[in-house]
Structure formats: structure tokens, C-alpha cells
Chains A and B, each alone.
Chain A
Amino acid sequence: AQRVTQPEKLLSVFKGAPVELKCNYSYSGSPELFWYVQYSRQRLQLLLRHISRESIKGFTADLNKGETSFHPKKPFAQEEDSAMYYCALGGATNKLIFGTGTLLAVQP
């Protein structure tokens, strides 16, 4: 069965500290992993996709097929990073399975 797990509902860090969001997935086929971010009162925005390996807003992530994980990291958190982050699994079916989300709170 397709499943996405985000183990942390809330992640609180101080400004300037490193941050790592966590996402594990379960999928029998060839997965496509995404991270979306939702800032307060704004629409969901694509943050990362595993196929591009590009860095967006300072976050980078590598798909680890062995551990079925896709954890984005940022070396120095900023207050403007405070938002809700969702991991999503896509694949051949052209639908996204979302995790339950992680609220990142960056304290000043």
C-alpha cells in the first residue's frame, strides 16, 4: 500500500540552527517524492522534487531508496521558514499521497 509518514507534527528550532524534516514512504513501484510548503494564509507551493535535486529556499534532499526516506535539510533556519511542510508521494497513478504535515516553527 502507498503510504507517507511524517513522524513529527511540530518541529521547533532556533534561528540559525540546522533543520531536518522527516519523511518515510511505502511504495512498491518507482516513487516520485515531493515536498510542499504552505505559509500562513498562502497556497501550497512546491518546495522540492526528488528528480531535480535542486535547492529551493536553502533546502536540499536526496531520495534514499534503501531507507525509503526523503528528508530535506537546511543548514541555517530562518524565521521566514516557519510554515507547514507536507511530504507527498506520486507515481504511475498521477495522484499524490500526502503525509500529515510538519509544522516548522523557527524561534528568534
Chain B
Amino acid sequence: KAGVTQTPRYLIKTRGQQVTLSCSPISGHRSVSWYQQTPGQGLQFLFEYFSETQRNKGNFPGRFSGRQFSNSRSEMNVSTLELGDSALYLCASSDWTGGHGYTFGSGTRLTVV
């Protein structure tokens, strides 16, 4: 079956702009999580959605937001981009418990200039 699909693969944005990233989970997976990966901070949890509801949120400013649609697809949005937002943004999907592990997408590489 198809894996986790993230679009676009690469993005270049200017400081102050906003950006929307998309994630399509594995069919049947209702939980979608987002992570930020940077060389300095490593992998950090952004938020997790289940059945269109945000269940958990990491320690990121309010400029980072997300949502999940009824088909479990998810989007994350970053407003007023800063240079420090440059990172690889990863989406992961899982079944409702997460105990069987999370399947990650290839990520969206965001560069803010």
C-alpha cells in the first residue's frame, strides 16, 4: 500500500511569508503527527492530529499551526516565516494507538531566505 506522501518536496520562501505543507497518511491511519528536523535541534515534535482534532502540541510558537481533514489528510502552516524555520518537516502516520510505530514521509525541505 502507498506510504506517507508529503508535498511539496522542496520549498524556498522569503522571510515574512507564510507556507502550507501537505501530508497524506497511509490509508486507514487516522493519526498524523508533524516533526521538525534540524541539524542543531534534531527531531522535534510539532503536533498530532486524530480524527480532525489536535491531541497534542509541542513547544513551538503560535506561528506553527495545523489541521486535519475528514479523509485524514493533514496540512501544517507556518506564518511570518523566520530564517530559523528552515528545516526538514516530517509527517508521520499511525494507527490510533501509535504503539505499533509511526511511518514517516520523505519530508518537505523548507528553506527561508
Contact of A95 among B48, B97, B101 (CB under 8 A): B48
B61, CB-defined interface residue at 8 Å: no
- In the assembled complex, the Cα of A94 lies from the Cα of B93 at a distance in Å of 11
B55, CB-defined interface residue at 8 Å: yes
Interface residues of B (CB under 8 A from A): 31, 33, 35, 42-45, 48, 50, 55-56, 58, 90, 92, 94, 97-107
Decide: A32 near B98, CB < 8 A? Known: A96-B33, A96-B45: yes
A98, CB-defined interface residue at 8 Å: yes
Q: Tell me, rounded to whole Å, the shortest Cβ–Cβ distance linking B41 to chain A.
A: 9
- In the assembled complex, the Cα of A32 lies from the Cα of B92 at a distance in Å of 16
Stretch at the interface among A18-26, A42-50, A63-71, A74-82: A42-50
- In the assembled complex, the Cα of A99 lies from the Cα of B102 at a distance in Å of 16
Give every chain B residue within 8 A of A72 (Cβ-Cβ). Answer: none
- In the assembled complex, the Cα of A36 lies from the Cα of B103 at a distance in Å of 10
- In the assembled complex, the Cα of A96 lies from the Cα of B37 at a distance in Å of 13
